[in-house]
Structure 1
Amino acid sequence: MLHFQDSEHVSMIRDTIERFVEKEMPRSLARQWDNDNYFPRDIHNKLVELGLMGLTVPEAYGGSGVDITATVMVIEHLCARSLAVGGGYIQSACYAGLNLGEVANEAQKKELLPKVIEDGLIFAYGISEPDVGADVSSVKTTARREGDYIVVNGNKRFCSGAAVADYIYTLVRSGPAEDRYKNLSLVLIPPNTQGVSLDLQGTLGLKGVGTYDVSFDEVRIPASQIIGGEEGWNNGWSKLVGPGLDIEKLEVAAMALGIATAAVNDAWAYSQERVQFGKPICKIQSIRHMLAEVKTKLEACRLMTYHAAGLIDQNKNASVETSMTKLFVCDTARDITIACQELMGAYGYVKDFDMERYVRDVLIMPIIGGSSAIQKNNIANRLNLPR
């Protein structure tokens, strides 16, 4: 069953976030945040005040209950205006809230989940490494036990938001390399811990929270910061590949959907304002066809995204649907956005218009959160296609 209609609850949140974006996130500020690669903490704090971090936290810990459809909708609307704000929301509500709710031990949940709701606690993912991308079980960053402490050494790459995060959610090798899946652990490392070094990377888009190389040199943290506690030591693989991976795919799809929606809306408006040969270009058949096509593709992206989110909210296995959604929405959003840029001609290429930012941002969407090639493998494998 496809999920077309918002519930009353989601409709109320949609109205709230739409008003918030227009009031607190004007286009001029979104351009400035992108230009300065700046994370607007004050806007993040206002999202906290609205209670939106609680959408991923169970009621037992002070949240409103896990609602993936509503969370996806918030991500879509924030990212349609600014990834600087949308990225921070994801790193709080999803990277912190969802992961803690799924894999932390009870003491960690009681300590940290209220901080997600009340303070907008932010996690950065320390998963990828200079030589490790999709094959995350090959991480080389190591952790060893020294009494009640863990000592971490190694390097992480593409660690978005490391400088603004409260913790880096770090995958480490905690046992012999030959054990591969049985020697991994997840630990929480504050970025201001002695021995942690951050190096900002220059990126085409995805501005705001910043993307960093992170180095760990004899970094000492309490053993209590092993995700899952003692049971999590050498058991990080099972925690990493749980249901959270399906939701992460939808987070990126929602980002892409937001960008593509903004691109289509801007191109739609531009076509009615731009006059050539004595008439608005929306009256030219080729332009009309282009707009009809991007609108149709955008609707398909939206239906897939919210259908998959609805399946997760119903506690149904959605591993195939989320991979299909990540693949289709991110690839299609890229195509939609580039088509909208072409419609605007040279105006779609200059910084006076937001379209050039949409293009820079959307290009990364088929890559992050599991590349399109990885999703194709997932789909074929999970549908039991013989190898």
Structure 2
Amino acid sequence: MEKQEHYAEFRLRVRDFLDHHLTPDLRRAGRLMTSVFADFEATMAWHRILFQQGWVAPDWPQEYGGTGWDIQERYIFQEECKLANAPSLLPMGLQMLGPMLIRYGTAEQKEFYLPRLLSGEDVWCQGYSEPGAGSDLASLKTSAVRDGDIFRINGSKIWTSYAQHSNRIFCLVRTSKEGKPQQGISFILVDMDAPGIKVDPIVGLDGRVEQCQVFFDDVEVPVANLVGEENQGWTVAKYLLEFERGGHNFTIDLKKQLGKLHRQMAETRGINGASLETYPVLGSRLADLEIDALAVEYTELRIKGANSAGENPGALSSMVKLVGTELGQAFNELSLDVLGPAVAPCQLEALEPCYDGDIVGPRYALTAMAEYINNRASTIYGGTAEIQRDIIAKQVLGL
């Protein structure tokens, strides 16, 4: 069979699966997403469906629960899920921690954590940033002092996505103050129900709770939960960050946003009563964004190719993260300009998947403002745009 025929048949098989398993409630939860996270209950319901099908971790090696799909099949699957409004899965475990454990975890850690991660029994959050250590992550102060076969952790982490739903957290902690700051950091796995942990939710501008602050007060963690060598966690952390920055598929998100913008422009009328898609200035802005999105797509394919060859994405992750997030913000800004006053009503209750009441204004404008607000953070989380430019300058340009 020709490859193109194979991929066409694979796409039809994915669509058939989505048609049979994506319920109206799950599709609604995906359609109402205003950030990288969907409604938690819908997310986990979809996670369990994919796990039963064996499709929950397409990017993992097959021996650890991956699908064995090639790069094109994985891309098709991600694209069809996005276009069908499937809820996104939580990235902290499947996208970030899983590949890191496969690379750096002990045999015992892989045997225990990976199956639970695949099944959804464990929900992970990421403990990297602190109130005084965000972009300058090496300055973190949360300490882990060794006492026999345990560590005692004290300090706090902030902007911890979905910590209120998680039963485990992977953390960067300071285990030594000697040498360069990066040399005294360790990577450790922590149970969220351990005595001494407190989670404070942070309400976002859109009225939802996605971020939290997590406090550690003499939290005892077994030394066996250390990943990699003590004081060498910076190497582990950088590897995981490459998957955080490069594992997100910006191309598919941008294509979906492009389709939404086309619909918004077609259905919104200007002062002369004509569709906004006939306005040359708006059309020119949209065309520029579409060209930039195509450049991101080719760069992401290079990253996928490197991953398929057993290589890590390196500085390409920073390039995609930088351009993809800034381009996403540009799409949001154009959307607000197109919709105008239709985005003004605050209708937070209408963004809940279970809401069945009336809304103010056109339905295609419902999520636009919340998407804009949430996406302002995209050039900060996962490493700020300034940090990504520094990485590119050093690793690509040799400056």
- For normalisation by structure 2, the TM-score amounts to 0.80
Structure 1 residue 182 displacement after superposition:
3.0
38-47 or 67-76, which deviates more: 67-76
Select the residue among 278, 284, 292 that pairs with 2:287. 292
- Structure 2 counterpart of 1:222, one-letter code: P
Distance 2:47 2:206 in 1: 20
368-377 or 47-56, which deviates more: 47-56
Partner of 1:342: 337
Distance 2:187 2:299 in 1: 32
Is the Cα contact below 8 Å between 1:298 and 1:336 reproduced in 2? no
Over 3 Å counting, the alpha-carbon distance change for 1:117 and 1:357 in structure 2 is same
Alignment deviations for residues 340-373 of structure 1 (CA, whole Å, 9 cap, x no partner)? 2211222244445222232123222111111111
Distance 2:5 2:392 in 1: 27
Structure 1 unaligned segments of length 5 or more: list them.
none
Over 3 Å counting, the alpha-carbon distance change for 1:125 and 1:28 in structure 2 is closer
- Structure 2 counterpart of 1:251, one-letter code: G
Partner of 2:64: 61
Partner of 2:231: 234
Is the Cα contact below 8 Å between 2:172 and 2:233 reproduced in 1? yes
Partner of 2:386: 373
Is the Cα contact below 8 Å between 1:170 and 1:187 reproduced in 2? yes
Is the Cα contact below 8 Å between 1:263 and 1:355 reproduced in 2? no
Select the residue among 54, 63, 85 that pairs with 1:51. 54
| 3-state SS of paired residue (1:54) | coil
Whose RCO is larger (CA < 8 A, sep 6+)?
A: 1
167-176 or 258-267, which deviates more: 258-267
| 3-state SS of paired residue (2:220) | strand
171-180 or 212-221, which deviates more: 171-180
95-104 or 52-61, which deviates more: 52-61
The size of the alignment, in residue pairs, is 373
Partner of 1:180: 181
Distance 1:69 1:247 in 2: 18
Partner of 1:268: 262
114-123 or 219-228, which deviates more: 114-123
Partner of 2:214: 214
- Structure 1 counterpart of 2:313, one-letter code: A
Over 3 Å counting, the alpha-carbon distance change for 1:148 and 1:385 in structure 2 is closer
Alignment deviations for residues 125-166 of structure 1 (CA, whole Å, 9 cap, x no partner)? 101111111222222111122232221111111111212223
Is the Cα contact below 8 Å between 2:166 and 2:192 reproduced in 1? yes
| 3-state SS of paired residue (1:99) | helix
- Structure 2 counterpart of 1:355, one-letter code: A
109-118 or 311-320, which deviates more: 311-320
Over 3 Å counting, the alpha-carbon distance change for 1:382 and 1:37 in structure 2 is closer
Select the residue among 369, 381, 392 that pairs with 1:356. 369
Over 3 Å counting, the alpha-carbon distance change for 1:286 and 1:138 in structure 2 is closer
Is the Cα contact below 8 Å between 2:268 and 2:338 reproduced in 1? no
Select the residue among 312, 322, 326 that pairs with 1:327. 322
**Does residue 1:202 correspond to 2:203, yes or no?**
yes
Distance 2:258 2:313 in 1: 28
Select the residue among 294, 301, 319 that pairs with 2:296. 301
73-82 or 341-350, which deviates more: 73-82
Over 3 Å counting, the alpha-carbon distance change for 1:155 and 1:234 in structure 2 is same
- Structure 2 counterpart of 1:273, one-letter code: E
Over 3 Å counting, the alpha-carbon distance change for 1:307 and 1:288 in structure 2 is same
Distance 1:10 1:90 in 2: 24
Structure 2 unaligned segments of length 5 or more: list them.
348-362
Distance 2:242 2:300 in 1: 12
Is the Cα contact below 8 Å between 2:30 and 2:38 reproduced in 1? no
Over 3 Å counting, the alpha-carbon distance change for 1:42 and 1:324 in structure 2 is same
Select the residue among 247, 253, 266 that pairs with 1:251. 247
| 3-state SS of paired residue (2:144) | strand
- Structure 1 counterpart of 2:392, one-letter code: I
Is the Cα contact below 8 Å between 2:15 and 2:80 reproduced in 1? no
- Structure 2 counterpart of 1:250, one-letter code: G
Is the Cα contact below 8 Å between 1:37 and 1:207 reproduced in 2? no
- Structure 1 counterpart of 2:215, one-letter code: S
12-21 or 97-106, which deviates more: 12-21
Is the Cα contact below 8 Å between 2:98 and 2:114 reproduced in 1? yes
